Amino acid sequence: MESVFIPRHKLQVLQRFSRLHPGSQRLWGTMEVPEMLWHLRCQLELALGLRERITDVESMLRLPPLRWLSLYVVPWPKGSPTAPEMNIRKAHPEVQSFETELRLLEQRLQEVEAAPALGPHPLFGAMSKKLWGRLIWKHIDHHLRQFGV
């Protein structure tokens, strides 16, 4: 299964990033490319403990069988809800240029890979680094598909 911690899968993600450009058109949703890159960076900063903790929610996804299904089996639907703190329309962050957001995202990806452990997830709860690697890959893949790459 794909994970950003498996070198060939990480390389594939980086190659897909290289096919993005500031004018890449989304196939669904409302985010522009720099906003999507900011959104992906938020997840990595959350895992690293660099972003203010999103309020944990009581979620059935904390149960190992449901978490496994969500991460490994069930495709994420287009327009899946996200935490307000990671929702570009609700958080109103200062989004940088495409080039800066891409560089910051790739930098955070390196930091996540080097981290000995990662924090809990607001929906999935405490997770191993292996599960985080899968979640991050699936999240990135979901949004790269949103932009056709």
For the stretch 87-118, pLDDT in tens is 888 888 899 999 999 999 999 999 999 999 99
Question: Which tokens in the block code for residue 124?
Answer: 């999935």
> To the nearest whole percent, how much of the chain has pLDDT over 90?
75
pLDDT surpassing 70 at residue 53 = no
- Structure confidence at residue 55 (pLDDT): 65
Q: How high is the pLDDT of residue 29?
A: 93
pTM of the model: 0.93
What is the predicted pLDDT for the residue at 88?
A: 85
CA nearest to 23, candidates 147, 143, 142, 140:
147
Using a 10 angstrom Cβ sphere, with 0-12 exposed, 13-18 middle and 19 or more buried, the burial of residue 99 is exposed
